Chain A
Amino acid sequence: MNKTYENLVSFLKKAKDKTKVYYKKLRSNDSFNAITGAILAIFIGLLFGVILMVIINPDNAREGISRLFKGYLNDPRGGSIGFAKMLTSATPIIFTGLAVAFAFKTGLFNIGASGQYTVGLFAAALVGILGDKLNSFQWIVAVLAGMASGFIWGAIPGIFKAKYNVHEVITSIMFNYVAMYVVNGLLNSDYLKTKVINGTTNRTIAVDQNARTSYGFFDTMFPNSGLDISIFIALGTAILIYFILNKTVFGRELKSVGLNRDAAKYAGVNEKKSIILSMAISGMLAGLGGALFILGPSVYNLGNVYAVENVIAGAGFDGIPVALLASSNPIGVIFSTMFVAYIEIAGGPMQSVGFVKEIVDIIIAVILYFSAFALIMTQNLDKIGTIFKKVKFKKKKKDDINHLETKAGEN
């Protein structure tokens, strides 16, 4: 009896030590901390949104909040179609998110995904509309054109950074506006205006059937939801980027320049070339996103269009929160994009019960705000433990003192 008890105690003790070791290992794991931090930030952001909704419209809050959390399930054509629509809207954001994440991993902050997305979209649209002689190659050429123009547009801030030491945040932001004005100017030029623009709507016309992305088997699975094979290209690209960054010498070199430019230079890495290439590849990813967006068959095979307005593309900016929320992990980008798409798709249904859809944008911004110090928050989670220990310790000390005092009293 006594022996079994002792065995049990030693077993429990061992188990406790093991969990402690395991926990310590987990705590020092970067991706564990990143994920806990992101989840904490998401929790705070959603809580903030819920409180906001209760304050501004208490009568409809219950319905509004339930619609927010239902996400794609709100779709009138059913949850599965809603799910497909969510994936459709998420696809370009995965690319711009990957663009921001890739640059960030190599120590660069690419706010210019919007401009790179726009030029990629524009180049792909031109090939898709004017290149009808290419026949079955039209799609491939359009995608390559989009990637190439994104590559070039991304390389510019890289060149400015590498050669002239101009901060890439400033350059890439400037080139968002330059891209938008140049593309809009070209679309309004005499040559393109009649061929590419629909005069009444001031939008581009849809690309040729030959240039459109295939629906794949999604057409029968989720009819008329707009979901096409680009989602697979997005997932594949994310895995490829993860592989390049973590498993290749090239990726290591790029990352080493991001960590310490001078050290990398000393180690024999051509740091200027690395910076330019990082930004260019980042731009290429955003350009690919733009191309696949405009080449997408869209709902009921109507094709996507680009509106000629003097507003820079929002898809580029959506890439920033998803990349940062994922701590710039390419695989994480997939999940964070899905999360953002999930709550963003609830914006419309929320509107019909009296909540403006900007609440979702606010929630995302709050999440990003908190994820900026998520790592510090997760580190403080441990501190909460030590605070408890301290309280205990103080109490013990107090007890000791009391004990001593009573002893002294006895004497």
Chain B
Amino acid sequence: MAFFISQAMFFIIPLLIVALAGMFSEKSGTVNIALEGLMVIGAFVGTFFVNRMQAIGFLDGAPQFLLIISLLLAGIGGAVFSALLGFLAINMRANQVIGGTALNLLAGALAIFLARQLQENNAVQISYNKEVFRLKSGFLEDIFPNINYIFFDQAYITLYIGIIILIISTIVIYKTKFGLRLSACGEHPEAAQSVGINVYRYRWTGVIISGFLGGLGGLVYALPISVSFEGTVAGYGFLALAVLIFGQWKPMRILLAAIFFGMFKALSVTFFSFDWISNLIEQYESVIPFGTIFRILPYLATMVVLAISSKKSKAPKASGIPFNFKGN
């Protein structure tokens, strides 16, 4: 069980961060289909930086510090990339779904192109050593070995960064002038403009925050689950979009939705670690394709839950609708 929860964390935290990324953009009124692309860019920038720094032995003694720097760089990479979405959606008032799709295509091609261009032998894979980033702390080891295993031994610092981002996002959205104005721009931009809020500026800020968190989330996703990055995040950005919808654009509900999907996703890679499932598999292996069922379960569960929750969608009303400021 401890192994399952610790694995689930590797799926829950990035889903949470990236869904929050989508939330900032959509709250301000811009649909962000490009989350997948933002993750790819962030994962590329972050893993490439880690790869190079580990190669020259930079910060070998302080891996956590190196990880934090690469997370920041991944975020900046995502923020820069998201400017393309901002320009298209806010300034050019273009179709955001088409633009987001273009950015998803561009991100994948760009990551592979840059990886090949910047590495020896045209290699696509960016390899890194993730083990050094584990916290490996013995805190609470004697009293609660399982809790220690999940939160302090096998965990990465990204777990706590995710929680901090959640708390800050909740406060910013609900308790600050900025957050309330941001939401206003996504609900009724004309009204916001009429009381002197610069809708364009708030939408741009929303998209850039979205890009930063999306890029950061990309690295948070890519780092723990593999030993190399290959230019794709396997549809995780879209899963995060589903989490955002299931979470009804509210931070705490997004957390619950992320836990729900993260559990299913983790189950699809760790189902063999449960004794009773292993027993079931042994008995009915020839009749029921367990592997396939567990692999498609996260997607089917998403669909069922969305079918139940989408009837009364609380999406920001002006999200996806270009704002046209008609001056004097």
Contacts and interface: CB of A to CB of B under 8 A. Distances in A.
Nearest to B37: A365
B289 A185 contact: yes
Contacts of B122: 356
Interface in B265-299: 286, 289, 291-292, 295-296, 299
Interface stretch (A122-130, A216-224, A316-324): A316-324
B103 interface: yes
A320 B101 contact: yes
B296 A356 contact: no
Interface in A353-380: 356, 358-359, 361-362, 364-366, 368-369, 371-373, 376
A176 B122 CA distance: 30
B299 A368 contact: no
Interface stretch (A166-174, A241-249, A395-403): A166-174
A147 to B, nearest CB: 23
Given A170-B242, A178-B299, A358-B113, A368 B289 contact: no
A6 interface: no
A111 interface: yes
A96 to B, nearest CB: 14
A373 B310 CA distance: 30
Interface string B92-120: 11110111011101101110110011000
A278 to B, nearest CB: 16
Interface residues of A, number: 44
Interface in A162-192: 163-167, 169-171, 173-178, 181-182, 184-186, 189-190
B109 to A, nearest CB: 3
Nearest to B305: A166
Interface string A301-322: 0000000000010000100110
Given A170-B238, A170-B242, A185-B291, A362 B106 contact: yes
Contact of B241 (A170, A177, A184, A364): A170
Contacts of B117: 56, 356
Contacts of A167: 245, 310
A373 B92 CA distance: 7
B129 interface: no
B185 interface: no
B154 interface: no
A358 B98 contact: no
Contact of B110 (A181, A185, A362, A368): A362
B306 A369 contact: no
Interface string B250-278: 00000000000000000000000000000
A321 B292 CA distance: 31
B6 interface: no
Contacts of B56: none
Interface in A73-109: 109
Contact of A369 (B103, B113, B289, B300): B103
Contacts of B101: 111, 320, 324, 368
B318 interface: no
Contact of A178 (B88, B116, B300): B300
B62 interface: no
B33 interface: yes
Interface residues of B, number: 44
B313 interface: yes
B238 to A, nearest CB: 4
A34 B117 CA distance: 35
A165 B303 CA distance: 11
B322 to A, nearest CB: 10
Contacts of B88: 369, 372-373
Select the residue from A164, A170, A324 with max chain B CB neighbours within 10 A.
A170
A171 B88 CA distance: 25
B311 interface: yes
Nearest to A376: B92
Given A368-B101, A369-B102, A177 B299 contact: yes
Contacts of B97: 109, 169
Contacts of A317: 105
Contacts of A173: 235, 238
B245 A170 contact: yes
Contacts of A171: 303, 306
A361 B105 contact: yes
Interface string B197-230: 0000000000000000000000000000000000
Contacts of A324: 98, 101
B106 A365 contact: yes
Nearest to A175: B299
A339 interface: no
Interface in B30-61: 33
B107 to A, nearest CB: 8
A358 B245 CA distance: 33
B296 to A, nearest CB: 5
5 contacts: A170-B302, A186-B289, A324-B98, A371-B102, A372-B88
Interface of A: 56, 109, 111, 160, 163-167, 169-171, 173-178, 181-182, 184-186, 189-190, 312, 317, 320-321, 324, 356, 358-359, 361-362, 364-366, 368-369, 371-373, 376
Given A170-B302, A177-B235, 6 more contacts: A109-B97, A166-B303, A181-B296, A182-B296, A368-B102, A372-B102
